[in-house]
């Protein structure tokens, strides 16, 4: 059936699109300058980034909640009952006999719906999963509750937890997305990151969640460190076949944003949540189906729009475009990254905190676990140093053409521990920080080993990374989108 458009509508839409395209050119330059030169302290965010929607703002805008004049309209306090409680939902039957009323409070608002996920693997993969979750929450009208980063891969269990807000500026992110965002510490009493025992919570609650594991995987991602920290006893239901990128594949774990959104949409999901068979019971024997008020997933790293798999590889990745590029580091971390860059530039000598850092190219050479994939001949799985040298020269040429600047300064990072390798790097004139000599882990904690490098890389104007390393992938995206930079993968 054909529905003719009203007369004049085509001309109107054409004018609107032209105006919108021109407007984006007008606003992109100031945004680029913000990310390149300096992160904005939280106190100045509202002056720099007004809450009114701009062309650069994602179009997923929730209605503005009522707010006290002194509170940000997207502040976490608007979407919870009050301060964190011992149990996040489900009023306990013995409330009347308890003196401490806080122990009985349901802290999730009855008229709101929420979403959360666990994570595994290294810091960057956890970050990508959390960003995917925030985007899924935006398109499914659910308020994200962000779990902390937890030791799983590369980081020992003794390192403890690290909250999302300790690394990233949540005030900025809420304002940029015009979306309320919660951390679990906003909702429930959990151990702080300074705790020596962050993986135990005596207030354990039953929770039914979804698992996105591939069909041939019998077990979900249990994420024991996360769930023990949060105090949840989780049963899992496998997501239905229609949500998968490749429904006929038994080994692929990719699911699609739009299908998962249809599965968990609050008002009218595509099917009743209790209509799917239980995958595995919880550790304490519960077989609860997935919940409506708090939709939770074991892993959202493999989410895709459906156009391709591992979509973070592409500039058009929706999770990156609408969420990830707005996730900027907190100012103390940026200052720390600059301190380490100055340390590298001056070959380990303290240069103070005021010296301007010249434009530089960051290089990330992933070696440790990649080399272990070829135990007999590690060199067969590692990119030779001369290929990184060639890529750096390509980036230097492109920066000369694009920005008219010659960038001789190169900052190298790697998980390589062999002293001969670093002697070769030094022989190239590249700068690096010896984290062992700088006692980074001893002074700052185990999480800061990778964090210092990640933040320093984000300040570069050029980047060369290791193909198939998500650590490199996300750093490259920050350099290109935040600093109008240039990147290569080898």
The candidate with the shortest Cα–Cα distance to 184, out of 269, 116, 255, is 116
pLDDT score recorded for residue 52: 38
CA angle 321, 75, 268 (to 5 degrees): 65
Q: Which residue has the tokens 């806080």?
A: 102
CA angle 60, 272, 119 (to 5 degrees): 55
Cβ atoms of 42 and 169 closer than 8 Å: yes
The candidate with the shortest Cα–Cα distance to 436, out of 454, 456, 417, 410, is 417
Q: How far apart are CA 271 and CA 44, in angstroms?
A: 45
CA angle 177, 179, 180 (to 5 degrees): 135
Outline where 190-330 has alpha helix (H).
224-230, 257-264, 318-322
Cβ atoms of 108 and 114 closer than 8 Å: yes
CA distances from 144 to 38, 54, 294 (A): 28, 22, 9
The candidate with the shortest Cα–Cα distance to 208, out of 191, 227, 189, is 227
Contacts of 2 by beta carbon, 8 Å cutoff, 6+ apart: none
The candidate with the shortest Cα–Cα distance to 64, out of 221, 178, 207, 173, is 178
pLDDT score recorded for residue 375: 66
pLDDT score recorded for residue 377: 66
Q: How far apart are CA 281 and CA 408, in angstroms?
A: 58
Cβ atoms of 367 and 415 closer than 8 Å: yes
Strand partners, 30: none
pLDDT score recorded for residue 49: 35
Q: How far apart are CA 4 and CA 7, in angstroms?
A: 9
Q: Which two tokens stand for residue 331?
A: 């100012």
Residue 143, classified by CB atoms within 10 Å of its CB into exposed (0-12), middle (13-18) or buried (19+), is buried
Give the residue extent of every domain in the chain.
Answer: 76-326, 331-489
User: Which contacts (CB < 8 Å, 24+ apart) does range 59-68 have?
Assistant: 60/138, 60/139, 60/177, 60/178, 60/179, 60/322, 61/178, 61/179, 62/141, 62/178, 62/179, 62/180, 65/180
- Under DSSP, the state recorded for 148 is P
Helix, strand and coil percent figures for the chain, each rounded to 5: 40, 15, 45
**Maximum Cα–Cα distance across the chain:** 74
Length of the chain: 490
Strand partners, 329: 168
Q: How far apart are CA 142 and CA 126, in angstroms?
A: 20
Contacts of 252 by beta carbon, 8 Å cutoff, 6+ apart: 214, 244, 245, 246, 309
Show pLDDT as tens, one digit a residue, over the chain (490 residues).
Answer: 444 444 444 444 344 444 444 344 333 333 333 333 333 343 333 333 333 334 344 444 444 444 444 567 888 888 888 888 888 875 544 444 444 444 445 889 988 999 999 988 899 999 999 999 999 999 999 999 999 999 987 788 999 999 999 999 999 999 999 999 999 999 999 999 999 899 989 899 999 999 999 999 999 999 999 999 999 999 999 999 999 999 989 999 999 999 999 999 998 888 888 889 999 999 999 999 999 999 999 999 999 998 999 999 999 999 999 999 999 999 999 999 999 999 999 876 666 666 789 999 999 998 766 656 666 666 667 889 999 999 999 999 999 999 999 999 999 999 888 889 999 999 999 999 999 889 999 999 999 999 999 999 999 999 999 998 999 999 999 999 999 999 999 9
pLDDT score recorded for residue 244: 94
Q: Which residue has the tokens 């739009």?
A: 258
Q: Which fold has domain 331-489?
A: Rossmann fold (3.40.50)
Q: How far apart are CA 238 and CA 297, in angstroms?
A: 10
Q: Which residue has the tokens 């999730």?
A: 108
pLDDT score recorded for residue 467: 92
Q: How far apart are CA 36 and CA 327, in angstroms?
A: 14
pLDDT score recorded for residue 241: 94
| Cα radius of gyration (the chain) | 24
Q: What is the 3-state secondary structure (H, E, C) of 87-121?
A: CCCCCCCCHHHCCCHHHHCCCECCCCCEEEECCCC
Which run of H or E residues covers position 343? helix 331-345
Which run of H or E residues covers position 53? none
């Amino acid at each position: 059936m054909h529905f003719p458009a009203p007369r004049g509508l085509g001309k109107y839409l054409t004018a609107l699109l032209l105006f919108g395209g021109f407007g984006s050119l007008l606003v992109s330059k100031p945004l680029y300058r913000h990310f390149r030169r300096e992160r904005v302290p939280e106190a100045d965010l509202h002056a720099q980034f007004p809450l009114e929607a701009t062309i650069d703002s994602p179009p997923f805008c929730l209605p503005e909640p009522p707010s006290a004049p002194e509170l940000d309209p997207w502040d976490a306090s608007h979407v919870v009952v009050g301060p964190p409680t011992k149990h996040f939902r489900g009023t306990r039957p013995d409330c009347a006999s308890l003196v401490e009323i806080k122990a009985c409070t349901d802290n999730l608002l009855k008229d709101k719906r929420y979403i959360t996920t666990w994570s595994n693997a290294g810091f960057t993969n956890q970050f990508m999963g959390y960003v995917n979750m925030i985007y899924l929450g935006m398109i499914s009208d659910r308020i994200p509750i962000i779990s902390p980063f937890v030791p799983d891969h590369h980081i020992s269990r003794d390192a403890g937890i690290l909250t999302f807000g300790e690394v990233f500026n949540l005030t900025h992110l809420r304002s940029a997305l015009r979306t309320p965002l919660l951390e679990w510490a906003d909702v429930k009493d959990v151990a702080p990151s300074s705790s020596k025992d962050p993986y135990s919570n005596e207030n354990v609650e039953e929770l039914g969640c979804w698992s996105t594991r591939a069909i041939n995987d019998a077990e979900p991602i249990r994420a024991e460190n996360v769930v023990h920290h949060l105090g949840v006893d989780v049963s899992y239901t496998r997501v239905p076949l229609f949500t998968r990128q490749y429904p006929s594949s038994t080994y692929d774990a990719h699911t699609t944003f739009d299908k998962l959104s249809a599965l968990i949409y609050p008002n009218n999901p595509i099917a009743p949540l209790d209509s799917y068979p239980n995958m595995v019971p919880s550790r304490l024997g519960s077989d609860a189906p997935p919940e409506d008020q708090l939709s939770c997933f074991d892993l959202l790293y493999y989410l895709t729009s459906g156009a391709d798999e591992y979509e973070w590889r592409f500039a058009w990745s929706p999770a990156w475009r609408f969420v990830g590029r707005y996730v900027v580091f907190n100012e103390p971390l940026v200052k720390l990254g600059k301190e380490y860059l100055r340390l590298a530039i001056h070959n380990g000598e303290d240069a103070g905190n005021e010296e301007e850092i010249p434009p530089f190219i960051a290089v990330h050479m992933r070696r440790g676990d990649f080399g272990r994939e070829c135990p007999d001949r590690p060199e067969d799985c590692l990119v030779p140093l001369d290929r990184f040298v060639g890529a750096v020269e390509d980036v230097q040429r492109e920066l000369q053409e694009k920005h008219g600047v010659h960038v001789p300064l190169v900052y190298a990072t790697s998980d390589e521990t062999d002293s001969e390798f670093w002697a070769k790097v030094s022989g190239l004139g590249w700068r690096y920080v010896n984290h062992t000599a700088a006692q980074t882990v001893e002074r700052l904690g185990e999480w800061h080993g990778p964090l210092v490098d990640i933040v320093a890389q984000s300040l570069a104007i050029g980047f060369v990374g290791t193909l198939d390393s998500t650590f490199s992938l996300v750093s490259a995206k920050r350099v290109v989108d935040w600093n109008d930079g240039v990147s290569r993968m080898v």
